[in-house]
Amino acid sequence: MPTKEEMMKFAGEIEEIVATTDYNYLEAIVEYCNKTGLETEVAATLISPNLKAKIHEQAENMNMLKTKGSRLPI
């Protein structure tokens, strides 16, 4: 189980990649894994809730996920 410090460091690295390139968050994570040799399964455990929310929002904006507000309540 990763520590909070490890998760914060990983999130900082991903934010830096997103800020300095035109990558989205998912692409930035894959690029980070390629550069450092980190397994994607390990990277998945390092994703903080804040980073997960940003990935989710970006995926919805790119129509990779369905938005929650599209269904009428029954």
Name which of 55, 65, 60 is nearest 25 in CA terms.
55
Average pLDDT for runs of 10 along the chain of length 74 = 90 95 95 95 94 91 74 60
Residue 73's φ and ψ, nearest 5 degrees, are -70, 145
pLDDT at position 60 is 87
pLDDT at position 25 is 95
Cα(1)–Cα(10) distance, rounded to whole angstroms?
A: 14
State the pTM of this model: 0.83
CB of 47 closer than 8 Å to CB of 10: yes
Cα(62)–Cα(3) distance, rounded to whole angstroms?
A: 31
